[in-house]
Structure 1
Amino acid sequence: MPLPFLTADRAFESTDDVALPFDDRDRWRRPYRPGPWRVGVAAIVLLLASYLLFAAVIIALTGSVSEAGVVLGIALLVIVGALRLLRVGVWVSAQGLRRVDFLLTRTVAWDRVAALRTVQQPVRWLGLPRTVQGQALLLVRRDRATDDVPVLLTTHNADFLARAEAFDKASDAVEAWGQEYRRG
């Protein structure tokens, strides 16, 4: 079963000078692959879900169908959580920029984007409260104050930890989408 949200489009990995090498630019796409930390955590969570599903079958065979239903429901919630974890990130299309968090998704139209810029600043390490010095891709909006600048990507999040070159490619790709659609 193909999982299109798990892999980035191969065109972003090409060495061409074409920044936006797609025919269908209205389709939402993530301009980078999910990192090993994100995929590893999702795999461990799915392994836990398989144990829960196996436990639900055993509980159902012992005669307690209602308890098996509860365990099955918990397993399904764990599976949905793992799939949502894999979708977390920045997505782009001709309509705008979409920031997908675990519980919340925000979309900003390109005409509301003032700038996308990479800056050196303290960033969260794997989303935890601990901060380290790193790079961040910031979204500056036209309709918001300059002190309320959301961070889109960092060099120390689950997608780019110890992958500085991947962060550079991803931030350049997002900035290229922004330059193309803020112009036109």
Structure 2
Amino acid sequence: MPLPFLTADRAFDTADDVALPHDDRDRWRRPYRPGPWRVGAAAVLLLLASFVLFAAVIIAATAPVSSAGVVFGLALVVIVWALRLLRMGTWVSAQGLRQVSLFSTRTTPWAQVVTVRTVQQPVRWLGLPRTVQGQALLLTRRGRSTETLPPLLTSHNADFLGRDPAFDRAADSVEVWADEYRRD
């Protein structure tokens, strides 16, 4: 049985000579696969949500419906949190570059992008306050030279921890998008 969601991203792994392996440039896409840390955390959250949903069914059968509704709501919050965790990352399209975090989304049109470059600097380890020496993909926007933007990608975030070649491919892919679409 073919699994199209597994083969859709293989173009990024096998496209050695093609920098932008896609047909629809207007569609928002993440130019890398989610990392094992991110997928594992989302799986644990979904497992927790299944237990909470099971508890809600038991509460609905034995207690007032209002208390079961609260537990159902809690399960829904955990499911939304897991899905948002999977959606986090850097997305690109012909319109611009989108950075999705847990609580916000920032979209930068290509016309405002000055540079996208990889630098060596201290980066946060798995998003925690601890910093380690690593690589970061930084965005410089037009007219906002004093504002410090968070890195688009880091070599020690939940997508690339322990996957240095994957970070290099993803950073190169975002840089190619920026070179193709930004206007000087």
Displacement of 1:97 after TM fit?
Answer: 0.2
Is the aligned partner of 1:172 residue 2:172? yes
Distance 1:102 1:15 in 2: 30
Aligned pairs (5 A) from 1:137-148: 137-145=137-145, 148=148
Distance 2:126 2:41 in 1: 12
Aligned residues between the structures: 182
Match for residue 35 of structure 1? 35
**Partner AA of 1:158 in structure 2:** A
TM-score when normalising by structure 2: 0.93
Distance 1:3 1:49 in 2: 26
**Partner AA of 1:78 in structure 2:** V
| Runs of 4 or more above 4 Å deviation | none
Decide whether the 8 Å contact of 2:31 with 2:92 is kept in 1: yes
Is the aligned partner of 1:117 residue 2:117? yes
Distance 1:38 1:98 in 2: 18
Structure 1 vs Structure 2 CA RMSD: 2.0
Bigger CA drift: 8-17 or 72-81? Answer: 8-17
Distance 2:148 2:95 in 1: 22
Displacement of 1:150 after TM fit?
Answer: 2.9
SS of equivalent to 1:151: coil
* 5+ residue gaps, structure 2: none
**Partner AA of 2:118 in structure 1:** T
**Partner AA of 2:143 in structure 1:** D
Q: 1:8 to 1:91 in 2, by over 3 A?
A: farther
Match for residue 81 of structure 1? 81
Decide whether the 8 Å contact of 1:9 with 1:29 is kept in 2: no
Aligned pairs (5 A) from 1:34-183: 34-145=34-145, 148-182=148-182
* 5+ residue gaps, structure 1: none
SS of equivalent to 1:128: coil
Q: 1:7 to 1:144 in 2, by over 3 A?
A: farther
